[in-house]
Amino acid sequence: MSDLEIARAAKLERIEDVGARIGLPPEALYRYGPYKAKVSLDHIRKLGAAKGKLVLVTAINPTPAGEGKTTTTVGLGDALSRIGKRAVICLREPSLGPCFGMKGGAAGGGYAQVVPMDEINLHFTGDFHAITAANNLLAALIDNQIYWGNPLGIDPSKISWRRVMDMNDRALRDIVVGLGGNGQVREDGFDITVASEVMAIFCLAKSLGDLEERINRIVVARDFGKKNVTAARVQAAGAMSTLLRDAMQPNLVQTLEHTPAFVHGGPFANIAHGCNSLIATETALKLGDYVVTEAGFGADLGAEKFFDIKCRQSGLKPSAAVIVATVRALKMHGGVGKNDLAKENVGAIEAGMANLLRHIENVRKFGVPVTVAINHFTSDTKAETDAISEACRKVGVHAHLCRHWADGGAGAEDLAREVVALADGATSDFKPLYPDDMTLADKIRTIAREIYRAADVSLAPEAEKKLQQYEADGFGRLPICMAKTQYSFTAEPDMRGAPTGHILPVRDVRLSAGAGFVVALCGALMTMPGLPREPAAYRIRVDANGEIDGLF
C-alpha cells in the first residue's frame, strides 16, 4: 500500500479524544474539521510549568536515497506511547514549494505518519498564508511610504525587505517594482515564505506580545542618513500581528497510532533555522513526559541551529538526540550511485560511515547524549546494518535497527527505551557552540571549522562590511543562521562523505533583527528555490471522488 492508501485506511480518533490523551479539554480546541484543531493561547497560558524531557531527532546529510527523519520522529513518538510513556510529537508544517517541486510531502511515511496527511501538506489551517500576507503587508507599507513623499527618508537602494510566496518560482528571485508610475522604480525580489524573517519570528516568539515586539525590531532598510529603518517606524507591527493572531495557536493532529502531534511553523533548515514553533514545543513540554521534535536536514544545519538559535533564545535544554541514518544513504556517501543501492556493499558502508560519525561527534560537542536510528529498508542486509552498528559501538553509541515504516511504533521500541534511559539519565550537559560575545565573523568561522571541518571561511568584501555595520549598530551578540546546501559539509552539494580542509565561501549576510540572528549565505544557495525539470505538480490531481492523487 502507498502512504496515502495507508493513511486513508486508518481509523482516526476525533481531535477532542486526541487532546484528552494529554489533558486538553474540548473547550481548549478550535476545530478545523473532525481531525485537526488549534489549541487556544488562553488555555496554554493557564498551563503549569514544563515537565517533559525534550528529545531531538536529526540526521546525516541527506541524499537522493532518503533518510526518513520525519518518519523516524513519528515512529519514535508512537514507540514511546507503546511502552507506556506520555509522548507528544512536534513537527514543522510542510511548505507547498517542495510538495509541488521535487521533495514531495513531509508527514512521515508507511505506518509512521501524522494525519490527515493530504491536508497537512496543503493548506492545513492557513498558517503559511497568514505569514505570507503579513510579510507582504510590510513590503507594501514600505513602498507606500516612498510613494507618499517618503517622510521617513528611506533610501530606495537600501531596502532589504523582500516579498515572499510559498512556492518555488525562480523567475521572482530578481524583479523590478514601481513601473508605470506606481512608485519609485527599484530592484526587488521574492524569497520563499519559509525563508522569511516573519516565519522565523513566528517560530521563535513566546507570545503575541513578544511577536509584536519582534516585528517592531525588524530592520527593513537604511535611510539617507545611514540609519536603520525598522518596521516600528513604518507602523506595521500592529496590522501584521493581527494577521498572525490565529496562526500563532499551535495545530494539533495525530499519528496513525493516535499519538498527539503539534505541527506548527515551518522554516527550512538550509536557508532558515529549521525548527517548529517555540510555542508548540513549550506547550508540548507542559503536557507530555517526553517530547520528540525534529530539526531539518542534517545535524550540520538543523541540529546546530536548534542548539545555537532556538535553545539559546528560549532556554530549552534537550535531554537526548537521535541521529537518523539509512544503509542506502551511507552507501551513497561511500561513493555508490543511486542505481546500485540495492546491491550489498559493506565497503561503501564503511566509507560512508565517516559522515555519520562526524555528526555524532558534532552533536556531542553540545553536551547532548546521542543514539543512532537505522531507518530500515527492505533491501538492507544484515552485514550492512551490522557494519553500522559496529562502527557506532566503537565510538560508544548504540545504533538501533528501526522498522517503524513497516511496523509503526512497534518497530522502534528498542530505540524508545534507550531514549528514555538517556533522557532520564541526567547526563545532558547542554551548551551552545559559541558565546554571545564572540564577533559575528568569528561565530561564522567557529561553525565552519567545528561543525563543517572547514579550514577557514572566505567572506565577500560586502559581507564583511555588513557584519561590521551590524556590530556597530548593536547586533554583535546575535547568533548566526548558516544558509548552506544541505547535501554536504561544504558549500558544494556533490561533496559527499566527510570532507575536511575546504574554504567555506560566504557571499552575503542578512540581518534578521526581529528573529534575533544574522543569516550567512554560503555558496550558490538561493532563498527562492526553483522547480525541477519534472516537478511533482505534473502528477497531482483530484479524482472523480474528490480525493487527491499524486501528492506522495
Written in H, E and C, the secondary structure of 398-461 is CEEEECHHHHHHHHHHHHHHHHHHHHHCCCCCCCCCCCCCCCHHHHHHHHHHHCCCCCEEEECH
Region of poorest pLDDT, from 26-35, 101-110, 285-294, 391-400: 101-110
Model confidence at 405, pLDDT cuts 50, 70, 90, reads very high
CA distance 129 to 259: 27
Angle between helices 208-217 and 197-204 (to 10 degrees): 150
CA distance 46 to 217: 28
Sheet bearing 503-512, strands edge to edge? 456-459, 503-512, 517-522, 480-483
Residue 104 is predicted with a pLDDT of 63
Region of poorest pLDDT, from 25-39, 107-121, 129-143: 107-121
CATH 3.10.410.10 in the chain is located at: 440-522
User: Which class in CATH covers the domain with range 3-125+247-424?
Assistant: alpha beta
Residue 214 is predicted with a pLDDT of 98
| Nearest partner of 293 among 122, 498, 76, judged by Cα | 76
Pairing label, strands 290-294, 53-59 = parallel
Residue 426 is predicted with a pLDDT of 67
Residue 284 C-alpha cell reads as 508540548
* Mean predicted confidence (pLDDT) in 433-459: 98
Residues identified as active-site: 69, 71, 92, 103, 269, 297, 377, 405
CA distance 530 to 536: 12
Q: Is the pLDDT of residue 5 over 90?
A: no
* Neighbour tally for 382: CB within 10 Å: 9
Residue 308 C-alpha cell reads as 545555537
Strands (E), 326-407: 370-375, 399-402
Chain segment 114-134, per-residue pLDDT in tens: 999 999 999 999 999 999 999
> How far, in whole angstroms, is CA 83 from its chain's centroid?
28
Spatial contact of 111 and 407, defined as CB atoms under 8 Å apart: yes
Letter string b/e over residues 334-355, b meaning 16 or more CB atoms within 10 A of that residue's CB: bebeeeebeeebbebbbbbbbb
Residue 252 C-alpha cell reads as 494539533
Residue 103 is predicted with a pLDDT of 62
Q: Which residue has the higher pLDDT, 1 or 467?
A: 467
Residue range 127-233, CATH number: 3.30.1510.10
CATH 3.30.1510.10 in the chain is located at: 127-233
Q: Is the pLDDT of residue 522 over 90?
A: yes
CA distance 175 to 193: 17
- Distances, alpha carbon 31 to alpha carbons 39, 176, 247, 310, 325, in Å: 9, 42, 13, 29, 37
Model confidence at 2, pLDDT cuts 50, 70, 90, reads confident
Q: Which residue has the higher pLDDT, 550 or 141?
A: 141
CATH 3.40.50.300 in the chain is located at: 3-125+247-424
Residue 286 C-alpha cell reads as 507542559
* CB contact set of 390 (below 8 Å; sequence gap of 6+): none
Q: Is the pLDDT of residue 6 over 80?
A: no
**What is the residue whose three cell numbers read 508540548?**
284
CA distance 246 to 64: 37
Q: How far apart are the first and last CA of the chain?
A: 12
- Distances, alpha carbon 170 to alpha carbons 122, 175, 273, in Å: 21, 11, 22
* CB contact set of 215 (below 8 Å; sequence gap of 6+): 198, 201, 231, 236, 237, 240, 241, 514
* Mean predicted confidence (pLDDT) in 266-293: 96
Model confidence at 370, pLDDT cuts 50, 70, 90, reads very high
Residue 425 C-alpha cell reads as 539519565
**pTM for the full predicted model:** 0.95
Residue 98 is predicted with a pLDDT of 85
The CATH superfamily assigned to 440-522 is Formyltetrahydrofolate synthetase, domain 3 (3.10.410.10)
CA distance 262 to 285: 11
**What is the residue whose three cell numbers read 516600528?**
232
CA distance 473 to 148: 28
Spatial contact of 124 and 296, defined as CB atoms under 8 Å apart: no
Helix (H) or strand (E) holding 204: helix 197-204
| Nearest partner of 77 among 234, 260, 286, judged by Cα | 260
Residue 106 is predicted with a pLDDT of 74
